[in-house]
């Protein structure tokens, strides 16, 4: 009932993709999502090539189903990560933060399906022109690094659908069956979910990191770093310091010094939820508690039917 052409293209049961989240998306989460019928993703952005190779092999010990790797193109070692994916025969690679044209041809020659995360119509059409197989239209509601354009998912997805011929995946602000069906109504052929999967038992992360996501409300996240690149994270001591500095007209160098290096790792793995960066989407207020990956996917897919029934009832059909 909820099978789309995206499922056939990627070899998955449900059109649900787990976003690649740095320090969170390791083999346990990736394999669990794929085993539950979605597409699990490793976060290549928090790995060096040797670690990525090991993580790929660990995923394969847990599942024989397709999975993928997210690679931010702006990273200086992105080419090395692509090499690993080609050598290891990964099924899918999702690129972001750069022009996918640099690597798309080589990956497709190796049989890899290429997705690209795009925060605007302009970048989505450029990604299609670069030859990608799928465009992920990601709205500003998403946690982590967002687009300078700051377009919402509701506005972005149908505009991208109207402009590209490849399948479109909706991302940003989706956590349950209602968001899943809404994305389909906008023309998406699948969804990408990050924050909801970060708050699962299989996701890597300190207990305090996951608790912070569960406690977050609808207004619990904030965009910081607009001069460097918009980033959505949970409000804490660090975000208040960054916002104060931005309000005083801090220079790029001053902001970089304030943010420092490794803040995300500090929060995610070490549990420093006050002076670390907690990447989190606006959808956190819907999460309510930790669950298993299988339960999350089961609730999204199982709840989609009743959502559609309510819509049919509203139209008198």
Please give the Cα distance from 308 to 180 (Å, whole number).
11
pLDDT band at residue 262 under the 50/70/90 scheme: confident
pLDDT digits (tens, 9 = 90+) for 61-74: 999 999 999 999 98
Please give the Cα distance from 123 to 237 (Å, whole number).
34
Q: Is the pLDDT of residue 193 over 60?
A: yes
Please give the Cα distance from 309 to 300 (Å, whole number).
15
Please give the Cα distance from 58 to 91 (Å, whole number).
15
117 or 260, which is more confident?
Answer: 117
**Of residues 133, 20, 141, the one with CA closest to residue 73:** 20
The two three-digit tokens of residue 54, written as one number? 């090991």
249 or 87, which is more confident?
Answer: 87
Q: Which domains does the chain have, with CATH numbers?
A: 12-204+285-300 (3.20.20.70), 217-283 (no CATH)
pLDDT digits (tens, 9 = 90+) for 136-185: 999 999 988 877 888 999 999 999 999 999 999 999 999 999 999 999 99
* Cβ proximity of 278 and 210 under 8 Å: no
Rounded to two decimals, the pTM is: 0.93
Residue 306 is predicted with a pLDDT of 92
pLDDT digits (tens, 9 = 90+) for 226-258: 878 888 999 999 999 989 988 888 888 888 878
Identify the weakest region by mean pLDDT among 18-27, 76-85, 210-219, 262-271. 262-271
* % of the chain surpassing 90 pLDDT: 80
């Amino acid at each position: 009932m909820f099978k789309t052409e995206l499922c056939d293209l990627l070899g998955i049961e449900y059109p649900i993709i787990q976003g690649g989240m740095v320090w969170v998306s390791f083999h346990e989460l990736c394999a669990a999502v794929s085993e539950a019928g979605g597409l699990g993703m490793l976060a290549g952005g928090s790995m060096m090539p040797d670690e990525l190779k090991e993580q790929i092999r660990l995923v394969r010990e847990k599942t024989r189903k397709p999975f993928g790797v997210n690679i931010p193109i702006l990273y200086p070692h992105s080419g090395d990560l692509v090499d690993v994916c080609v050598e290891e025969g990964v099924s899918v690679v999702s690129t972001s933060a750069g022009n996918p044209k640099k690597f798309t041809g080589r990956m497709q020659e190796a049989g890899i399906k290429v997705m690209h995360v795009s925060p605007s119509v302009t970048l989505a059409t450029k990604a299609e022109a670069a030859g990608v197989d799928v465009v992920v239209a990601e709205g500003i509601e998403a946690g982590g690094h967002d687009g300078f354009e700051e377009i919402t998912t509701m506005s972005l997805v149908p505009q991208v659908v109207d402009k590209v011929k490849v399948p479109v995946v909706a991302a940003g602000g989706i956590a349950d069956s209602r968001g899943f069906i809404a994305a389909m109504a906008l023309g998406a052929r699948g969804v990408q979910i990050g924050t909801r999967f970060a708050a699962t038992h299989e996701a890597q992360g300190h207990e305090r990191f996951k608790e912070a996501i569960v406690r977050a409300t609808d207004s619990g996240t904030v965009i910081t770093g607009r001069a460097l690149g918009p980033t959505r994270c949970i409000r804490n001591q660090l975000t208040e310091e960054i916002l104060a500095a931005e309000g005083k007209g801090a220079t790029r160098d001053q902001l970089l010094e304030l943010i420092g290096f490794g803040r995300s790792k500090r929060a995610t793995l070490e549990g420093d939820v006050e002076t670390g960066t907690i990447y989190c989407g606006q959808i956190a207020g819907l999460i309510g508690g930790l669950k298993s990956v299988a339960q999350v996917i089961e609730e999204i897919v199982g709840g989609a039917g009743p959502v559609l029934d309510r819509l049919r009832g509203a139209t008198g059909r």
